[in-house]
């Protein structure tokens, strides 16, 4: 390992090493920060994931593990830990990687970055402690007039301030890289995707501050009243866009993993980048998608916000849904797997957990998370599934089978490239994305199924045994909830293996000293091989065309099936 | 590679693949269609959520519901009045920790103006097994014209988390079909 000291034209001295696999210059301060954020992310994934398993085991009617008060407490903790803390710590690591490392640049103000990190850790711990103390089981959405203890909100606010600092450092690093000329031409596509994520993050955090700071003051008794509808409108401007940070981040990682493992190059930079831009321009509006069953909001407001603009953002995702597998097919055909329609896919590195995780994330995000999101976000169809367990079914398709799986896949690259450790227990690592991915896809689908049959979300007892007026869901609903429990166990096994492999690798993985072949190899010279592929007229992507064709047919069929369900309901207007 | 700067400095001059162009076109048209279909459903569909809503103080709403229940009560069940309003009438349903109040008895094929509000926290009106789900807010009175299309006993489940007794928060709607033939005809006309 050669660490060279470079004195920057301005600012601090930065220490760099050269990555022996990618040739990139790595700022060691950035590297340490990436490690810290990634480790914190995995810690909160472990906590939040365990809570998720407890939730699923309680909702499995035959098991019904936790008592009611504990169930609501753990469900609140589950949401905060996985949806906020795991994902955003990891995203900060992605931002530092996509700026400092990919641009061969020093990270702007590492000291401030550490302050941000400490704020995030303190905030996350404060919220966790407050939730575990009880009296703050208000769920992730924390709708007033239901009230949590002040530290619940304060913890989230501190965490968000820390994350905001991370975003600012990312922007500053881009500026430094441009000024110091550490790269030529435009920023890479992956950095571009990270940039969209960071821009959306700033908007998200600003709206979060607008709503959570008054709510915190209200919990302290300094403000007398928070209007519940106003709260929801503003809260969802944060709540929904925060999920678009994830989408931008994990789509960036799809491109990154495609590039590093098979040498994939975007079919055309223009299309892929425009698709990212659509996220910035249109995704924010999609937050109305959570307000379709509210009183007092106009139908035209709902249609414009959730639909027209949102479909342009959906179009962004549909474009990535073509260009990501398309770029992989193009690269694989260049790599020599050119026989038939699907040899490129069959001979893809399925044994490499970074690839299998990435590709499963792509499929599940599109087919489960994407399609269900559009259906759920349709003005009238929403009445069928608002606040049923279909909603968590949908977002487990996006955030677990999509984002979390993609982040796990990326971790298999972070470990050798940033931690410089050889991955321990490669056989376990190989099966991990399959277990976790299939488990996550299963829970998403079965929750969607149960929601279609009416099962409420955030509900301790679907038998209503303590209720004054009895009611029973159909046997099908019970079956779905049982299957949900079984697949949650499968996903949890995948999650536990992930944590074990990461912790084992960080602590005991063989230190990578010289440029030996990795257990899970990167594509050798992939960039060069694929660099001339992709200009107009040369691309033949029959496999990808068939895949997106299947996707489109599923999308259209499922959309109309739900209109059919809707047309059979009681009449209302 | 996606991880390195694009080869061409001016990447926006790069040609677009034909397959990409076709897919973008299809995705755009599909988006337009879905947009149009939501508007169209307001004309061709029978299920559109009402936007009629009023601000109301929770105590005032509670009073309205009590008056309504007193006026039309026909019997009692588990200590809760069963209320049978006239077809076409204003019907008041109240959500509170942890109850839907009162129990309603409606007629199949008849339209009712159902008022929904909460007097404490947010709740979720979830009519089962007919899967109709509507958010219920304190301070907002939401009015929905509802026409039952099937008879029987239906459950109302709360599907917005509202505290430790959330899972005990149920209600009931009975739908009778005394005027079966007339109701079927009216439904057929409305469809
Ligand atoms: Cu309730």
Q: What is the CATH classification number for the domain harbouring B126?
A: 2.60.40.420
Asked if residue B166 is part of any domain, the answer here is yes
- Whole-angstrom CA distances from A524 to A334, A496, B46 are 13, 31, 60
Asked if residue B2 is part of any domain, the answer here is no
Which residue among B31, B38, B147 sits closest to A315, beta carbon to beta carbon? B31
Asked if residue B124 and residue B97 are part of one domain, the reply reads yes
State whether the Cα torsion A126-A128-A134-A137 is positive or negative. Answer: positive
Asked if residue B86 and residue B40 are part of one domain, the reply reads no
**Contact, A94 vs A194, CB < 8 A?**
yes
Asked if residue B5 is part of any domain, the answer here is no
How far is A499 from A86, CA to CA, in rounded Å?
12
**What are the DSSP calls for A231-297, one per residue?**
HHHHHHHHHHHHHHHHHHHHHHHHHHHHHHHH----S-HHHHHHHHHHHHHHGGGGGGGG-TT-TT-
Global pTM exceeds 0.80: yes
Tell me which DSSP letter residue B168 carries.
Answer: G
How far is A428 from B104, CA to CA, in rounded Å?
57
Asked if residue B189 is part of any domain, the answer here is no
Q: What angle do CA A524, A525, A526 make, to 5 degrees?
A: 90
Asked if residue B190 is part of any domain, the answer here is no
State whether the Cα torsion A108-A112-A118-A122 is positive or negative. Answer: negative
Asked if residue B111 and residue B21 are part of one domain, the reply reads no
**Rounded to the nearest whole angstrom, what is the distance from the C-alpha of residue B168 to the centroid of ligand 1?**
9
Contacts of B29 (CB under 8 A, 6+ apart): none
Asked if residue B172 is part of any domain, the answer here is yes
How far is A499 from A530, CA to CA, in rounded Å?
34
Asked if residue B154 and residue B123 are part of one domain, the reply reads yes
The ipTM assigned to this model is 0.92
Asked if residue B134 is part of any domain, the answer here is yes
Q: How many domains is chain B partitioned into structurally?
A: 2
How far is B84 from A285, CA to CA, in rounded Å?
42
Could you say which residues from 213 to 242 on chain A have a Cβ atom under 8 Å away from some Cβ of chain B?
Answer: 227-229
**Rounded to the nearest whole angstrom, what is the distance from the C-alpha of residue B122 to the centroid of ligand 1?**
7
Asked if residue B108 and residue B175 are part of one domain, the reply reads yes
Could you say which residues from 243 to 262 on chain A have a Cβ atom under 8 Å away from some Cβ of chain B?
Answer: 255-256, 258-260
Give chain B positions within 8 Å (CB) of A474: 129
> In DSSP terms, which residues pair with B53 in a beta bridge?
B142
Asked if residue B152 is part of any domain, the answer here is yes
Minimal-distance CA residue of chain A relative to B158: A456
Asked if residue B137 and residue B70 are part of one domain, the reply reads yes
Which residue among A187, A466, A552 sits closest to B168, beta carbon to beta carbon? A466
Asked if residue B66 and residue B15 are part of one domain, the reply reads no
Contact A303 B35 (CB under 8 A): yes
Asked if residue B83 and residue B28 are part of one domain, the reply reads no
| Segments forming the whole domain that contains residue B21 | 11-44
Contacts of B162 (CB under 8 A, 6+ apart): A146, B97, B98, B120, B121, B122, B123, B169
Asked if residue B31 and residue B92 are part of one domain, the reply reads no
Contact A531 B7 (CB under 8 A): yes
Give pLDDT tens digits along chain A (573 positions): 333 334 344 456 778 888 888 888 899 999 999 999 999 999 999 999 999 999 999 999 999 999 999 999 999 999 999 999 999 999 999 999 999 999 999 999 999 999 999 999 999 999 999 999 988 888 888 888 888 888 889 999 999 999 999 999 999 999 999 999 888 888 899 999 999 999 988 988 888 888 888 899 898 988 888 888 888 888 887 888 888 889 999 999 999 999 999 988 888 888 999 999 888 888 766 677 788 888 878 888 888 877 666 788 889 999 999 999 999 998 888 888 888 899 999 999 999 999 999 999 999 999 999 999 999 989 899 999 999 999 999 999 999 999 999 999 999 998 998 999 999 999 999 999 999 999 999 999 999 999 999 999 999 999 998 888 989 899 999 999 999 999 999 999 999 999 999 999 999 998 888 767 788 888 775 444 344 444 334 557 899 999 999 999 999 999 999 999 999 999 998
């Amino acid at each position: 390992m050669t660490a060279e000291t470079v004195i920057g034209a301005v600012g601090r001295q930065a220490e760099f090493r050269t990555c022996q696999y990618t040739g990139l210059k790595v700022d060691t301060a950035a590297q340490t920060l990436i490690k810290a954020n990634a480790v914190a992310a995995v810690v909160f994934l472990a906590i939040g994931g365990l809570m998720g398993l407890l939730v699923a085991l309680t909702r499995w009617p035959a098991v019904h593990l936790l008592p009611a008060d504990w169930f609501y407490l753990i469900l609140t903790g589950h949401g905060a830990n996985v949806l906020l803390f795991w994902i955003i710590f990891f995203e900060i690591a992605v931002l530092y990687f996509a700026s400092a490392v990919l641009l061969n640049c020093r990270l702007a103000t590492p000291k401030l970055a550490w302050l941000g990190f400490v704020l995030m850790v303190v905030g996350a711990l404060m919220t966790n402690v407050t939730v575990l103390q009880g009296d703050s089981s208000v769920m992730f959405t924390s709708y007033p007039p239901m009230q949590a203890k002040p530290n619940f909100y304060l913890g989230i606010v501190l965490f968000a301030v820390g994350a905001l600092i991370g975003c600012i450092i990312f922007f500053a690093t881009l500026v430094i890289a441009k000024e110091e000329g550490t790269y030529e031409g435009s920023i890479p596509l992956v950095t571009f995707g990270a940039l969209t994520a960071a821009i959306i993050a700033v908007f998200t955090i600003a709206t979060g501050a607008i709503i959570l700071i008054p709510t915190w003051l209200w919990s302290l008794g300094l403000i007398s009243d928070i209007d519940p509808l106003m709260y929801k409108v503003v809260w969802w401007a944060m709540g929904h866009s925060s999920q678009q940070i994830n989408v931008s981040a994990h789509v960036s990682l799809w491109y990154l993993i495609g590039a590093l493992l098979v040498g994939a190059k975007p079919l055309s930079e223009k299309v892929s980048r425009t698709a990212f831009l659509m996220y910035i321009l249109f995704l924010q509006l999609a937050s109305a998608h959570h307000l379709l069953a509210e009183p007092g909001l106009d139908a035209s407001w709902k249609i414009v916000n959730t639909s027209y603009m949102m479909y342009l953002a959906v179009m962004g995702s549909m474009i990535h849904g073509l260009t990501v597998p398309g770029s992989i097919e193009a690269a694989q055909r260049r790599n020599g797997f050119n026989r038939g329609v699907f040899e490129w896919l069959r001979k893809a590195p399925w044994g490499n957990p970074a690839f299998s995780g990435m590709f499963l994330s792509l499929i599940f995000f599109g087919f489960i998370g994407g399609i269900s999101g559009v259906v759920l976000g349709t003005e009238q169809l929403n009445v069928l599934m608002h606040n049923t367990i279909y909603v968590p079914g949908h977002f487990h398709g996006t955030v677990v089978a999509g984002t979390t799986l993609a982040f796990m896949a990326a971790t298999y690259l972070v470990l050798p490239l940033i931690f410089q450790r050889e991955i321990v227990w490669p056989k376990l690592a190989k099966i991990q994305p399959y277990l976790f991915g299939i488990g996550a896809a299963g829970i998403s689908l079965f929750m969607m199924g149960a929601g279609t049959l009416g099962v409420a979300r955030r509900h301790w007892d679907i038998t209503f045994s303590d209720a004054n007026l009895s009611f029973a869901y159909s046997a099908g609903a019970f079956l779905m909830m049982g299957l949900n429990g079984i697949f949650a166990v499968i996903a949890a096994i995948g999650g536990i293996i992930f944590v074990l492999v990461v912790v084992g690798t960080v602590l005991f993985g063989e230190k990578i000293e010289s440029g030996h072949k990795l257990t899970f190899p990167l594509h050798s010279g992939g960039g060069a091989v694929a660099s001339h592929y992709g200009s107009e007229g040369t691309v033949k992507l029959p496999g990808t065309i068939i895949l997106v064709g299947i996707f489109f047919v599923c999308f259209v069929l499922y959309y109309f099936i739900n209109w059919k369900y809707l047309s059979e309901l009681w009449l209302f207007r | 590679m996606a991880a390195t700067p694009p080869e061409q400095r001016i990447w926006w001059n790069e040609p677009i693949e034909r397959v990409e162009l076709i897919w973008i076109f299809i995705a755009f048209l599909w988006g337009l269609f879905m947009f149009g279909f939501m508007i169209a459903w307001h004309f061709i569909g029978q299920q559109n959520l009402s936007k009629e809503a009023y601000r109301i103080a929770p105590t005032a709403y509670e009073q309205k519901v009590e008056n309504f229940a007193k006026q039309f009560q026909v019997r009692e069940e588990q200590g809760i009045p069963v209320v049978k309003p006239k077809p076409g009438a204003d019907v008041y349903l109240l959500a509170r920790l942890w109850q839907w109040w009162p129990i309603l008895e409606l007629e199949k094929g008849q339209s009712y103006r159902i008022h929904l509000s909460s007097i404490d926290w947010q709740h979720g009106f979830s009519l089962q097994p007919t899967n109709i789900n509507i958010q219920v807010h304190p301070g907002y009175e939401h009015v929905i014209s509802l026409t039952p299309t099937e008879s029987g006993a239906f459950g109302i489940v709360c599907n917005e988390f509202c505290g430790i007794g959330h899972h005990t928060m149920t209600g009931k709607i009975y739908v009778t079909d005394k005027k079966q033939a007339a109701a079927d005809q009216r439904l057929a006309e409305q469809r």
